Structure 1
Protein backbone atom coordinates (compact mmCIF):
# COMPACT_ATOMS: atom_id res chain seq x y z
CA UNK A 1 0.00 0.00 0.00
CA UNK A 2 1.31 3.42 -0.68
CA UNK A 3 0.59 6.99 -0.03
CA UNK A 4 -0.78 8.68 -3.10
CA UNK A 5 -1.32 12.40 -3.55
CA UNK A 6 -4.24 12.25 -1.14
CA UNK A 7 -2.16 10.54 1.53
CA UNK A 8 -4.04 7.25 1.42
CA UNK A 9 -2.79 3.71 1.70
CA UNK A 10 -3.14 1.42 -1.28
CA UNK A 11 -1.59 -1.91 -2.12
CA UNK A 12 -0.12 -2.82 -5.52
CA UNK A 13 -1.76 -6.07 -6.47
CA UNK A 14 -1.06 -8.22 -9.48
CA UNK A 15 -3.29 -10.97 -10.79
CA UNK A 16 -0.77 -13.64 -11.84
CA UNK A 17 2.30 -14.38 -9.79
CA UNK A 18 5.36 -12.25 -10.40
CA UNK A 19 8.53 -13.83 -11.81
CA UNK A 20 10.12 -14.12 -8.36
CA UNK A 21 7.20 -16.18 -7.07
CA UNK A 22 7.06 -18.27 -10.24
CA UNK A 23 10.73 -19.21 -9.89
CA UNK A 24 10.21 -20.08 -6.24
CA UNK A 25 7.23 -22.30 -7.09
CA UNK A 26 9.10 -24.10 -9.88
CA UNK A 27 12.05 -24.74 -7.59
CA UNK A 28 9.89 -26.41 -4.94
CA UNK A 29 8.59 -28.88 -7.51
CA UNK A 30 12.04 -30.13 -8.51
CA UNK A 31 14.56 -32.20 -6.63
CA UNK A 32 18.11 -31.00 -6.13
CA UNK A 33 20.51 -32.23 -8.78
CA UNK A 34 21.36 -31.80 -12.42
CA UNK A 35 18.80 -29.72 -14.26
CA UNK A 36 17.24 -28.31 -11.10
CA UNK A 37 16.15 -24.68 -11.26
CA UNK A 38 18.01 -22.41 -8.86
CA UNK A 39 15.49 -20.55 -6.73
CA UNK A 40 15.93 -17.19 -5.08
CA UNK A 41 16.19 -17.26 -1.28
CA UNK A 42 12.92 -17.52 0.62
CA UNK A 43 11.77 -14.08 1.81
CA UNK A 44 12.07 -13.35 5.52
CA UNK A 45 9.98 -10.67 7.23
CA UNK A 46 11.97 -8.51 9.64
CA UNK A 47 10.45 -5.96 12.01
CA UNK A 48 12.34 -2.73 12.77
CA UNK A 49 11.56 0.00 15.30
CA UNK A 50 12.17 3.70 15.10
CA UNK A 51 15.31 4.97 13.40
CA UNK A 52 16.63 1.45 12.77
CA UNK A 53 14.78 1.70 9.47
CA UNK A 54 17.06 4.49 8.22
CA UNK A 55 19.74 1.98 7.26
CA UNK A 56 17.29 0.66 4.67
CA UNK A 57 15.97 4.00 3.38
CA UNK A 58 17.40 3.58 -0.13
CA UNK A 59 15.86 0.12 -0.45
CA UNK A 60 12.47 1.39 0.70
CA UNK A 61 12.58 4.16 -1.88
CA UNK A 62 13.44 1.61 -4.58
CA UNK A 63 10.49 -0.60 -3.59
CA UNK A 64 8.21 2.45 -3.55
CA UNK A 65 9.20 3.38 -7.11
CA UNK A 66 8.73 -0.18 -8.39
CA UNK A 67 5.35 -0.58 -6.71
CA UNK A 68 3.68 2.74 -7.36
CA UNK A 69 4.94 4.16 -10.63
CA UNK A 70 2.65 1.73 -12.45
CA UNK A 71 -1.19 1.84 -12.63
CA UNK A 72 -3.43 2.37 -10.77
CA UNK A 73 -1.27 4.69 -8.66
CA UNK A 74 0.90 6.20 -11.45
CA UNK A 75 3.14 8.08 -9.05
CA UNK A 76 6.13 9.96 -10.45
CA UNK A 77 9.70 10.60 -9.37
CA UNK A 78 8.63 13.65 -7.42
CA UNK A 79 6.31 11.56 -5.23
CA UNK A 80 9.07 9.01 -4.68
CA UNK A 81 11.42 11.81 -3.60
CA UNK A 82 8.80 13.14 -1.19
CA UNK A 83 8.40 9.68 0.31
CA UNK A 84 12.16 9.28 0.75
CA UNK A 85 12.46 12.72 2.33
CA UNK A 86 9.92 11.97 5.03
CA UNK A 87 11.36 8.60 6.10
CA UNK A 88 13.68 10.17 8.74
CA UNK A 89 10.82 12.28 10.10
CA UNK A 90 8.38 9.38 10.17
CA UNK A 91 10.94 7.16 11.92
CA UNK A 92 10.87 9.54 14.89
CA UNK A 93 7.10 9.31 15.32
CA UNK A 94 5.78 7.53 18.44
CA UNK A 95 5.51 3.79 17.91
CA UNK A 96 7.09 3.83 14.44
CA UNK A 97 7.40 0.29 13.11
CA UNK A 98 8.49 -1.09 9.75
CA UNK A 99 8.27 -4.65 8.45
CA UNK A 100 10.62 -5.56 5.59
CA UNK A 101 10.43 -8.63 3.34
CA UNK A 102 14.08 -9.54 2.72
CA UNK A 103 15.49 -12.22 0.41
CA UNK A 104 19.26 -12.39 0.56
CA UNK A 105 20.38 -8.79 0.11
CA UNK A 106 17.18 -7.71 -1.63
CA UNK A 107 14.23 -5.93 -0.02
CA UNK A 108 11.11 -7.16 -1.83
CA UNK A 109 8.50 -5.19 0.08
CA UNK A 110 7.76 -3.26 3.23
CA UNK A 111 5.01 -1.96 5.48
CA UNK A 112 5.32 0.93 7.90
CA UNK A 113 3.26 2.95 10.34
CA UNK A 114 3.10 4.63 13.73
CA UNK A 115 0.81 5.44 16.63
CA UNK A 116 -1.70 8.19 15.87
CA UNK A 117 -1.18 10.84 18.52
CA UNK A 118 -3.99 13.17 19.60
CA UNK A 119 -5.20 15.59 18.45
CA UNK A 120 -6.14 13.85 15.21
CA UNK A 121 -4.09 15.23 12.28
CA UNK A 122 -5.61 17.82 9.96
CA UNK A 123 -3.21 17.52 7.01
CA UNK A 124 -3.17 15.18 4.00
CA UNK A 125 -6.50 13.33 3.75
CA UNK A 126 -7.13 13.01 7.50
CA UNK A 127 -10.00 15.54 7.49
CA UNK A 128 -11.94 13.30 5.09
CA UNK A 129 -11.51 10.37 7.45
CA UNK A 130 -12.68 12.44 10.42
CA UNK A 131 -15.69 13.69 8.47
CA UNK A 132 -16.65 10.13 7.57
CA UNK A 133 -16.42 8.81 11.13
CA UNK A 134 -17.45 11.88 13.09
CA UNK A 135 -15.38 13.60 15.77
CA UNK A 136 -16.23 11.23 18.64
CA UNK A 137 -15.50 8.00 16.75
CA UNK A 138 -12.35 9.48 15.24
CA UNK A 139 -10.99 10.24 18.69
CA UNK A 140 -12.11 6.97 20.27
CA UNK A 141 -11.20 4.61 17.42
CA UNK A 142 -8.16 6.15 15.75
CA UNK A 143 -6.27 8.28 18.27
CA UNK A 144 -3.80 6.12 20.18
CA UNK A 145 -4.14 3.33 17.59
CA UNK A 146 -1.49 2.10 15.15
CA UNK A 147 -1.86 3.66 11.70
CA UNK A 148 -0.57 1.73 8.68
CA UNK A 149 0.90 4.37 6.39
CA UNK A 150 2.63 2.36 3.67
CA UNK A 151 2.45 -1.15 2.23
CA UNK A 152 4.38 -1.90 -0.96
CA UNK A 153 5.65 -5.03 -2.73
CA UNK A 154 7.80 -5.12 -5.85
CA UNK A 155 5.82 -6.33 -8.91
CA UNK A 156 8.09 -9.34 -9.37
CA UNK A 157 7.37 -10.53 -5.83
CA UNK A 158 3.59 -10.07 -5.89
CA UNK A 159 1.29 -13.06 -5.74
CA UNK A 160 3.28 -14.81 -2.97
CA UNK A 161 1.26 -13.52 -0.03
CA UNK A 162 3.99 -11.10 1.04
CA UNK A 163 1.61 -8.14 1.36
CA UNK A 164 -0.53 -10.03 3.86
CA UNK A 165 2.52 -11.14 5.84
CA UNK A 166 3.87 -7.60 5.97
CA UNK A 167 0.52 -6.21 7.07
CA UNK A 168 0.25 -8.77 9.85
CA UNK A 169 3.83 -8.21 11.00
CA UNK A 170 3.67 -4.43 11.13
CA UNK A 171 0.41 -4.43 13.13
CA UNK A 172 1.26 -7.30 15.50
CA UNK A 173 2.22 -4.90 18.28
CA UNK A 174 -0.71 -2.50 17.84
CA UNK A 175 -1.92 -1.16 21.22
CA UNK A 176 -4.74 -3.44 22.41
CA UNK A 177 -5.04 -4.68 18.83
CA UNK A 178 -6.09 -1.23 17.63
CA UNK A 179 -4.83 -0.69 14.07
CA UNK A 180 -6.31 1.27 11.19
CA UNK A 181 -5.55 2.67 7.75
CA UNK A 182 -6.92 4.81 4.96
CA UNK A 183 -7.28 3.96 1.30
CA UNK A 184 -9.04 5.41 -1.70
CA UNK A 185 -12.42 4.30 -2.97
CA UNK A 186 -10.82 4.54 -6.41
CA UNK A 187 -8.65 1.51 -5.58
CA UNK A 188 -11.13 -1.40 -5.53
CA UNK A 189 -8.41 -4.06 -5.66
CA UNK A 190 -6.73 -2.57 -2.60
CA UNK A 191 -10.08 -2.49 -0.80
CA UNK A 192 -10.74 -6.10 -1.74
CA UNK A 193 -7.31 -7.05 -0.40
CA UNK A 194 -8.04 -5.51 2.99
CA UNK A 195 -11.40 -7.26 3.19
CA UNK A 196 -9.67 -10.59 2.48
CA UNK A 197 -7.20 -9.88 5.28
CA UNK A 198 -10.07 -9.50 7.73
CA UNK A 199 -10.06 -5.71 7.97
CA UNK A 200 -13.38 -3.96 8.61
CA UNK A 201 -14.52 -1.09 6.40
CA UNK A 202 -15.68 1.67 8.75
CA UNK A 203 -16.74 4.33 6.22
CA UNK A 204 -18.58 3.92 2.93
CA UNK A 205 -18.17 6.86 0.54
CA UNK A 206 -19.77 6.64 -2.88
CA UNK A 207 -17.86 4.18 -5.08
CA UNK A 208 -18.28 6.63 -7.96
CA UNK A 209 -16.52 9.46 -6.13
CA UNK A 210 -13.06 10.22 -4.83
CA UNK A 211 -13.68 9.50 -1.18
CA UNK A 212 -11.39 8.11 1.50
CA UNK A 213 -12.15 4.80 3.20
CA UNK A 214 -11.26 4.03 6.82
CA UNK A 215 -10.45 0.40 7.65
CA UNK A 216 -10.13 -1.02 11.17
CA UNK A 217 -7.79 -3.94 11.79
CA UNK A 218 -8.92 -7.50 12.53
CA UNK A 219 -8.34 -7.11 16.29
CA UNK A 220 -9.64 -3.58 16.70
CA UNK A 221 -12.16 -3.58 19.59
CA UNK A 222 -14.46 -1.14 17.76
CA UNK A 223 -15.12 -3.52 14.87
CA UNK A 224 -18.48 -4.49 16.31
CA UNK A 225 -19.51 -0.84 16.59
CA UNK A 226 -19.10 -0.01 12.91
CA UNK A 227 -22.47 1.08 11.47
CA UNK A 228 -23.79 -0.77 8.46
CA UNK A 229 -23.78 1.15 5.16
CA UNK A 230 -27.06 2.72 4.07
Structure 2
Protein backbone atom coordinates (compact mmCIF):
# COMPACT_ATOMS: atom_id res chain seq x y z
CA UNK A 1 0.00 0.00 0.00
CA UNK A 2 1.22 3.46 -0.85
CA UNK A 3 -0.16 6.58 0.84
CA UNK A 4 -0.57 9.88 -0.97
CA UNK A 5 -1.68 13.47 -0.62
CA UNK A 6 -1.31 15.98 -3.44
CA UNK A 7 1.47 13.78 -4.85
CA UNK A 8 -1.26 11.42 -6.08
CA UNK A 9 -1.15 13.54 -9.23
CA UNK A 10 2.21 11.89 -10.03
CA UNK A 11 0.20 8.68 -10.52
CA UNK A 12 -2.84 10.28 -12.17
CA UNK A 13 -2.51 8.32 -15.43
CA UNK A 14 -2.26 4.94 -13.68
CA UNK A 15 -5.06 5.77 -11.26
CA UNK A 16 -7.31 7.03 -14.05
CA UNK A 17 -6.90 3.82 -16.04
CA UNK A 18 -7.81 1.73 -12.99
CA UNK A 19 -10.80 3.98 -12.31
CA UNK A 20 -12.08 3.63 -15.87
CA UNK A 21 -11.74 -0.16 -15.76
CA UNK A 22 -13.67 -0.39 -12.49
CA UNK A 23 -16.35 2.20 -13.20
CA UNK A 24 -17.27 1.22 -16.76
CA UNK A 25 -17.77 -2.46 -15.87
CA UNK A 26 -21.09 -3.79 -14.52
CA UNK A 27 -23.13 -2.30 -12.96
CA UNK A 28 -21.71 0.89 -14.54
CA UNK A 29 -21.39 -0.52 -18.08
CA UNK A 30 -23.68 2.23 -19.40
CA UNK A 31 -20.87 4.76 -18.87
CA UNK A 32 -18.72 5.82 -21.81
CA UNK A 33 -15.05 5.06 -21.12
CA UNK A 34 -13.68 8.26 -22.65
CA UNK A 35 -16.17 10.50 -20.87
CA UNK A 36 -15.51 8.65 -17.60
CA UNK A 37 -11.75 9.05 -18.10
CA UNK A 38 -12.00 12.79 -18.76
CA UNK A 39 -14.42 13.48 -15.91
CA UNK A 40 -12.40 11.52 -13.34
CA UNK A 41 -9.11 13.09 -14.37
CA UNK A 42 -10.59 16.57 -14.09
CA UNK A 43 -12.11 15.76 -10.66
CA UNK A 44 -8.83 14.28 -9.43
CA UNK A 45 -6.98 17.51 -10.19
CA UNK A 46 -9.45 19.39 -7.94
CA UNK A 47 -10.02 16.72 -5.30
CA UNK A 48 -6.30 16.27 -4.58
CA UNK A 49 -6.27 19.87 -3.35
CA UNK A 50 -9.21 19.51 -0.93
CA UNK A 51 -8.51 19.96 2.79
CA UNK A 52 -7.48 16.66 4.31
CA UNK A 53 -7.19 14.82 0.96
CA UNK A 54 -5.61 11.38 1.20
CA UNK A 55 -5.35 8.42 -1.12
CA UNK A 56 -4.09 4.87 -0.84
CA UNK A 57 -3.06 2.83 -3.86
CA UNK A 58 -2.31 -0.86 -4.04
CA UNK A 59 0.28 -1.35 -6.75
CA UNK A 60 1.42 -4.51 -8.50
CA UNK A 61 5.13 -5.28 -8.88
CA UNK A 62 4.99 -3.86 -12.41
CA UNK A 63 3.50 -0.53 -11.25
CA UNK A 64 -0.14 -1.16 -12.19
CA UNK A 65 -2.78 0.18 -9.81
CA UNK A 66 -4.71 -2.86 -8.56
CA UNK A 67 -6.93 -0.90 -6.20
CA UNK A 68 -7.44 2.59 -4.86
CA UNK A 69 -9.30 4.64 -2.31
CA UNK A 70 -9.51 8.43 -2.04
CA UNK A 71 -11.14 10.84 0.35
CA UNK A 72 -11.00 14.08 2.30
CA UNK A 73 -12.55 15.91 5.23
CA UNK A 74 -16.12 17.00 4.43
CA UNK A 75 -16.34 20.76 4.74
CA UNK A 76 -19.37 22.93 5.38
CA UNK A 77 -21.49 24.15 3.86
CA UNK A 78 -22.38 20.76 2.43
CA UNK A 79 -21.95 20.54 -1.31
CA UNK A 80 -24.89 20.29 -3.71
CA UNK A 81 -23.11 19.05 -6.86
CA UNK A 82 -22.79 15.42 -7.97
CA UNK A 83 -24.94 13.25 -5.64
CA UNK A 84 -24.66 15.46 -2.55
CA UNK A 85 -28.17 16.87 -2.92
CA UNK A 86 -29.46 13.31 -2.76
CA UNK A 87 -27.52 12.75 0.48
CA UNK A 88 -29.22 15.76 2.05
CA UNK A 89 -32.60 14.63 0.74
CA UNK A 90 -32.05 11.09 2.02
CA UNK A 91 -30.89 11.82 5.59
CA UNK A 92 -31.88 15.47 6.11
CA UNK A 93 -29.84 18.63 6.53
CA UNK A 94 -29.64 18.31 10.33
CA UNK A 95 -28.12 14.82 10.14
CA UNK A 96 -25.78 15.91 7.34
CA UNK A 97 -24.43 18.58 9.69
CA UNK A 98 -24.34 16.24 12.68
CA UNK A 99 -22.89 13.15 10.98
CA UNK A 100 -21.01 14.21 7.85
CA UNK A 101 -19.58 17.73 8.19
CA UNK A 102 -16.11 17.34 9.69
CA UNK A 103 -16.05 13.59 9.00
CA UNK A 104 -13.72 11.89 6.54
CA UNK A 105 -15.49 11.31 3.23
CA UNK A 106 -14.54 8.25 1.22
CA UNK A 107 -14.97 9.45 -2.33
CA UNK A 108 -13.77 6.58 -4.47
CA UNK A 109 -12.95 2.95 -3.71
CA UNK A 110 -12.19 0.55 -6.53
CA UNK A 111 -10.50 -2.79 -7.06
CA UNK A 112 -9.67 -4.10 -10.50
CA UNK A 113 -11.49 -7.30 -11.45
CA UNK A 114 -8.39 -9.52 -11.27
CA UNK A 115 -7.78 -8.46 -7.63
CA UNK A 116 -11.35 -8.86 -6.34
CA UNK A 117 -12.10 -11.44 -3.70
CA UNK A 118 -8.66 -11.06 -2.12
CA UNK A 119 -9.64 -8.69 0.69
CA UNK A 120 -7.96 -5.78 -1.07
CA UNK A 121 -11.02 -3.50 -0.89
CA UNK A 122 -11.29 -4.02 2.86
CA UNK A 123 -7.55 -3.42 3.34
CA UNK A 124 -7.62 -0.23 1.27
CA UNK A 125 -10.63 1.12 3.14
CA UNK A 126 -9.10 0.21 6.51
CA UNK A 127 -5.77 1.79 5.57
CA UNK A 128 -7.38 5.08 4.61
CA UNK A 129 -9.86 5.30 7.49
CA UNK A 130 -7.15 4.40 10.03
CA UNK A 131 -5.25 7.56 9.08
CA UNK A 132 -8.02 9.63 7.54
CA UNK A 133 -10.82 9.99 10.03
CA UNK A 134 -12.05 13.50 10.43
CA UNK A 135 -12.01 15.54 13.63
CA UNK A 136 -15.27 13.87 14.61
CA UNK A 137 -13.59 10.46 14.50
CA UNK A 138 -15.78 9.02 11.79
CA UNK A 139 -15.83 8.38 8.09
CA UNK A 140 -18.69 8.16 5.62
CA UNK A 141 -19.40 7.33 2.00
CA UNK A 142 -22.20 7.03 -0.45
CA UNK A 143 -22.95 4.27 -2.94
CA UNK A 144 -25.37 3.80 -5.80
CA UNK A 145 -28.31 1.59 -4.82
CA UNK A 146 -27.94 -0.50 -8.00
CA UNK A 147 -24.36 -1.52 -7.11
CA UNK A 148 -25.62 -4.54 -5.16
CA UNK A 149 -22.22 -6.18 -4.63
CA UNK A 150 -20.83 -2.89 -3.37
CA UNK A 151 -23.70 -2.41 -0.91
CA UNK A 152 -23.28 -5.99 0.33
CA UNK A 153 -19.53 -5.40 0.79
CA UNK A 154 -20.03 -2.32 2.98
CA UNK A 155 -22.69 -4.04 5.05
CA UNK A 156 -20.54 -7.14 5.47
CA UNK A 157 -17.61 -5.14 6.84
CA UNK A 158 -19.79 -3.30 9.35
CA UNK A 159 -20.57 0.05 7.76
CA UNK A 160 -23.97 1.32 8.93
CA UNK A 161 -26.76 3.09 7.04
CA UNK A 162 -28.52 5.97 8.76
CA UNK A 163 -32.27 5.64 8.35
CA UNK A 164 -33.55 7.68 5.41
CA UNK A 165 -35.98 10.49 6.08
CA UNK A 166 -39.53 9.16 5.60
CA UNK A 167 -40.47 9.38 1.95
CA UNK A 168 -37.01 10.58 0.91
CA UNK A 169 -35.33 7.45 -0.36
CA UNK A 170 -33.06 8.12 -3.31
CA UNK A 171 -30.87 6.06 -5.63
CA UNK A 172 -27.92 6.52 -3.29
CA UNK A 173 -27.21 4.91 0.06
CA UNK A 174 -25.21 6.66 2.79
CA UNK A 175 -22.89 4.60 4.99
CA UNK A 176 -21.14 5.53 8.22
CA UNK A 177 -17.95 3.82 9.32
CA UNK A 178 -18.10 1.28 12.11
CA UNK A 179 -17.64 2.77 15.57
Q: What is the deviation of 1:203?
A: 3.7
Aligned 1:124-135 pairs, distance under 5 A: 124-135=82-93
User: Does structure 2 conserve the Cα–Cα contact (< 8 Å) formed by 1:205 and 1:213?
Assistant: no
Structure 1: runs of 5+ lacking an equivalent = 1-44, 220-230
Choose which of 91, 97, 103 in structure 1 pairs with 2:48: 91
Q: What is the deviation of 1:210?
A: 5.3
RMSD of aligned alpha carbons: 1.7
User: Does structure 2 conserve the Cα–Cα contact (< 8 Å) formed by 1:116 and 1:146?
Assistant: yes
SS of the equivalent of 2:109 reads strand
Report what 1:57 is aligned to.
12
SS of the equivalent of 1:180 reads strand
Q: Aligned partners of 1:122 and 1:112: how far apart in 2?
A: 20
Structure 2: runs of 5+ lacking an equivalent = none
Structure number with higher relative contact order (C-alpha < 8 Å, ≥ 6 residues apart):
1
SS of the equivalent of 1:200 reads coil
Question: TM-score scaled by structure 2?
Answer: 0.90
Aligned 1:3-18 pairs, distance under 5 A: none
- Runs of 4+ in structure 1 deviating by more than 2 angstroms, as ranges, are 203-206
Matched pairs, number: 172
Question: TM-score scaled by structure 1?
Answer: 0.71
User: Does structure 2 conserve the Cα–Cα contact (< 8 Å) formed by 1:199 and 1:217?
Assistant: yes
Which of the pair has more CA radius of gyration?
1
Q: What is the deviation of 1:157?
A: 1.3
Aligned 1:40-79 pairs, distance under 5 A: 45-49=1-5, 51-74=6-29, 75-76=31-32, 77-79=34-36
The range that moved more, 141-150 or 126-135, is 126-135
Choose which of 112, 118, 121 in structure 2 pairs with 1:154: 112
Report what 2:155 is aligned to.
195
Q: Aligned partners of 1:163 and 1:204: how far apart in 2?
A: 26
Report what 2:58 is aligned to.
101
